[in-house]
Every structure is written in C-alpha cells, then in structure tokens.
A = this chain, B = another copy of it.
C-alpha cells in the first residue's frame, strides 16, 4: 500500500513529480520519468483515486438512474451511455429504480455522496424536486426519455406523441376503428404522450375516443397481460391493441395466446419500442422503434459538454424521431365488417 510519497522518496523526487508522471501533466524529464516509473513498479504503487478526486474535485464518474434495467430498451440506452462515457474517459454508475420514487431518492443521495460529475436521470415521476436536488449540489443533470413539466433542465427524449400518432394512423388505415390503448402509468410523460398521439390520430380520423378502451397500467409484462384480459371483455371487442411499450406488448401476446386468439388474424397488435434482434427468433411485431442507443449517447454527450463548459448556456431539449417498423402483427387491411 505504497503512497505517492513512498514512490517519490524511492525515485528521489518530490511527490508532485510523481503525480506528473502518473497523469502525464506538465513537464517531466525523460530520465526522471523512467526513474519514477521504475519506483512505481518496484513498490507496486497504485494511485488512490479517492484522494485524487477529493483534491481535484472530479471523479470521472457519471450517474445513470433508470427505471428498469431488465428491459432491453434500457439496456440499450445504458450501452449508449456507457460507450459515450467511456470514449471520454468517464465511468458510469448504474442505478435501477423500478419506477419507485423512494428508490430514486435513495440513489440520488448515493450519487451525490459519491461526488459524481454529472447525472443522467430517467425520472420515475414528473416531480421537479429530484432535478432541483441535483442542481442544488452544483451537479449538471440531463433528463432522459421523459419530460418534467415546469423544470429548468436539459432533456433528451423521443417524440412519443408523434410515434403513437403514426402507429395509430397505421391501424386506422388498415380499417381498425376499435383500438384498445394499453398504456403505462399516469404521470409518466412517455405514457401520457402516447395516449395523446393515439387520441389525436383517432380524432383526426373522426373516430370518437372510447375511454373504456384506454387502460393505464405499468410498463411490465404482467400489466400488459391483465390490461389485455380486460380489453378483451369490452363489447364490442376491440379489433386492435396498442401496447405502450415492449413489455406490455409481450404480456399482451401471452394473454392473447392464452385466450386462444391469433395475431394478426383475430386481433392486430402494435407496440412501442423494438426488441433487440438477438433476443427474438422471428421478429413480427409492428412497432414504433425509438433510437435507444442514440438517446443514451446523445444525452451523455450533452452532459459531458456541460461538464466541459462547451454546451450553450441555455437548456437544450433534444427530441429524436421514432421509426415505424411494419411487420406481421399489424395485419392486412380489414375486410368490411358486418354492422
């Protein structure tokens, strides 16, 4: 457990010179450097980053708080974050809240205690306090994926409203009029925005929004399953389902299978968020795909720009487009149904 002072003594230099060798900063004579490096090797010296960070006030670490690490969408976002951070020499501490504000709060404190240089936050709710808390610690924060109304902060997200609008129009164009919306939680902007887009498309098409067809649940397989069961009991039965995220879609698929219904023959199904090609044997879901990796990357780059003072002073809101990927699950144009 040698310290920088031990190395300095052995190499016959001052600690600061050792520091310069380690960090490649300032001027060091080649021979001096060699002596120092030999001393480092001899003593098996490993710098103490705690001391370094304490003094330099930089930890080279970012915090990433997200809501469900078991979802491939978030894994992909995380990889984008990780890659961008790594390119800039930063580490990432990953925190999983499971959509719980209490967990989120706990992790925020942990990250502040650990003196992370910046935070990427997928907020569990639309509350402004978490963002204000981070900012009160003089730590830059970028909000990811979701909006927080009335907050002053950088945001990188996708256009959920537009994606849902387009997906719904696609179903309408195929002749569907009774489309059940299996949404995520109220109070989460992505869930709300997707309902808004769905509504707008219906209204534009002159289809009245039947509120008994709009279900709010969680972004989970179980919730997708039960919302689907409920949707199937509504009369007249919907001819299409809109799953607000990928897990809800999988839950819906299971519920439909258990109900003996085929997709798309008996019901059409579309969803938000694609699944990674590696995880699916035979992709057949029609989806609005969000550029998850790119979202993570751009958010991180924005955060790093803030850290280095390169970002423009005004808060940014970067909105990435979704891409409609049409596959089998949305089905063909419906034949004229008897009234």
Mark A residues whose CB is within 8 Å of B.
1, 44, 46-51, 53-54, 59, 109, 112-115, 133, 136-138
Contacts and interface: CB of A to CB of B under 8 A. Distances in A.
A50 B114 contact: yes
A161 B49 CA distance: 42
Nearest to A70: B278
B54 A112 contact: no
Contacts of A136: 44
Given A51-B54, A54-B50, A44 B113 contact: no
Contact of A109 (B46, B54, B112, B138): B46
16 contacts: A1-B137, A1-B138, A44-B133, A46-B109, A46-B112, A46-B113, A46-B137, A47-B113, A48-B54, A48-B113, A48-B115, A49-B115, A50-B50, A50-B115, A51-B54, A54-B54
Closest 4 CB pairs of A and B: A46-B112, A49-B113, A50-B54, A50-B50
A160 to B, nearest CB: 28
Question: Of residues A46, A49, A112, which shows the largest number of chain B Cβ atoms within 10 Å of its Cβ?
Answer: A46
Contacts of A50: 50, 53-54, 59, 114-115
A265 to B, nearest CB: 21
Integer count of this chain's copies in the complex:
2
A96 to B, nearest CB: 11
A138 to B, nearest CB: 5
Given A46-B109, A48-B113, 16 more contacts: A1-B138, A44-B133, A44-B137, A46-B112, A46-B113, A46-B137, A47-B113, A48-B54, A49-B113, A49-B114, A49-B115, A50-B50, A50-B59, A50-B114, A50-B115, A54-B54
Contacts of A51: 54
Contacts of A44: 133, 136-137
Contacts of A48: 54, 113, 115
A254 to B, nearest CB: 10
A137 B44 CA distance: 8
A46 B44 CA distance: 34
Contacts of A114: 49-50
A76 B197 CA distance: 40
A48 B47 CA distance: 19
Contacts of A54: 48, 50-51, 54
Contacts of A112: 46
A126 to B, nearest CB: 22
Contacts of A115: 48-50
A55 B84 CA distance: 33
Nearest to A1: B138
A75 to B, nearest CB: 10
